[in-house]
Amino acid sequence: MASTISTLIKNGTVYDPMTSIFNMQKDVFLHQGKIALLGDKLDQDQLLHLTSTWSEFDANGCLVCPGLIDLHVHCFPTRTSLGVDPDVHCLPRGVTTVIDAGSAGINDFKEFKSYTATKKTRILALLHVSRPGLTRAGCATDDLSVGELECIDDVDIDGCVECVAANPTLIVGTKLRLSAQIAKAGENELEALRRALKIRRRVGLPLMVHHSFSTIPLTPTEESDLGVPGSLFSGDIRTHMYHGFNTNIVDPTTGCLDPSILDGKQRGVHSDLGHGQGGFSWTVAEISAKENVWPDAISTDLHTGNVNGPAYDLPTVMTKLLHVGMPLSAVIEAVTSKPATIIGCGNKIGSLAPGVCADVTVLRLEDWDELLEDTQGQMRKVKQRFAPVAVWKSGERVEINDKVCPNKDPQYMLDVTKEWKDLVVHDIHQE
């Protein structure tokens, strides 16, 4: 990055949900790493009160919004083979802040903290409740037989509480993966959830739960005294909202949303998209859209297994939500003010209000005519897409990578269809 200089971003159409500004032409002035001014046609005299020199960026025909926030990524490549470099795959695509979703547990958190200090992208963390984090279960090796919940004592309540207390500016929550395969064939899932909820109560920060291929139902039953989202607290996060496997949000017998999802929303449980390598089904998204139920946060779950498809990057995932009918203002909110608020950082990032950190992303909503795949290779023809045009992180402009998706490699397209047999909600049409 170059040194910070003052910048006037003018003539853009501003979307800033935190200040209730939607689809309004305004100018934004960045000065000393902060949003200094936001207003209609800022004039030279207003700027000269702050500085004698500045650069100008003409955002005519573009959307100007707070720097994008990706609530769910994996960016710890020194310890997990899933980790991507956010300075390569996120920041140049308009994402100024990423939240690493449980790559590190307490065993490796010191190394993770050192790694984040070397990056230009702002990295915050959800601490994995299991000591090894994602250094097991094929996330650091090819061995899928041993998961992070194979030994229940790895879920160390006191250790997690101490680690959170020692890293208050970096850790914004905790993370738990619930899948039978990584939890001794499901034997340890309930106890892991109980311990994770105890950690959540003690630290007072959101718990994000991955819930697929799990023995734990959506709501408590006679066989299971806990459910997800049924047992989560207000402020907690259920990720992979639109996956199509068992424990997904659609009742496969009726084709309708399970009532627990709406109940969870009413109780304040957040839904995170978490696109990932297996977490986005066009069909589930379309069923949810018919009932006007949208994710609170749009995230990529970006890692080495999906960065070249089917997730690609956050603007591409935003494009998919726009395609299924999520309103433009809601899409912007789900990658700016909503995730900032969920992690308790709404006064620092996710807004263009004066005094907030000068993270700004300029996007163009442009016509497009491409097939985009979901995580099982089901296709939809997309007519519009979000294209990053410019980005500033803490007032410093970063060069945009204007790569074009999607990946049409035949072997890749074959690979993404391999999980078709595991879907319980199947595609309703192909375009």
pLDDT of residue 114: 98
Ramachandran bin of 153, using left for φ above 0, alpha for ψ from -120 to 50, beta for the remaining angles: alpha
pLDDT of residue 142: 47
In tens, the pLDDT along 68-124 reads 999 999 999 999 989 999 999 999 999 999 999 999 999 999 999 999 999 999 999
The answer to whether residues 327 and 321 touch, using CB atoms and an 8 Å cutoff, is no
Ramachandran bin of 137, using left for φ above 0, alpha for ψ from -120 to 50, beta for the remaining angles: left
Separation CA 22–CA 387 (nearest Å):
19
Helix (H, G, I), strand (E, B) or coil at 3: coil
Looking at the predicted structure, is the pLDDT value of residue 392 above 50?
yes
Separation CA 430–CA 428 (nearest Å):
7
In tens, the pLDDT along 228-247 reads 999 999 999 999 999 999 99
CATH superfamily membership of 67-342 = Metal-dependent hydrolases (3.20.20.140)
pLDDT of residue 360: 98
Residue 340 main-chain phi, psi, to 5 deg? -60, -40
Number of CB atoms found within 10 A of residue 165's CB:
11
**Residue 291 CB contacts under 8 Å (≥ 6 apart), including other chains:** 256, 257
User: Where along the chain do its domains lie?
Assistant: 67-342
Rg (CA), the chain: 21
Q: What letter represents residue 320's amino acid?
A: K
* Cα within 13 Å of Cα(417), Cβ side: 9
**Residue 414 CB contacts under 8 Å (≥ 6 apart), including other chains:** none
The residue whose two tokens read 């697929």 is 212
Greater confidence (142 vs 390) lies with 390
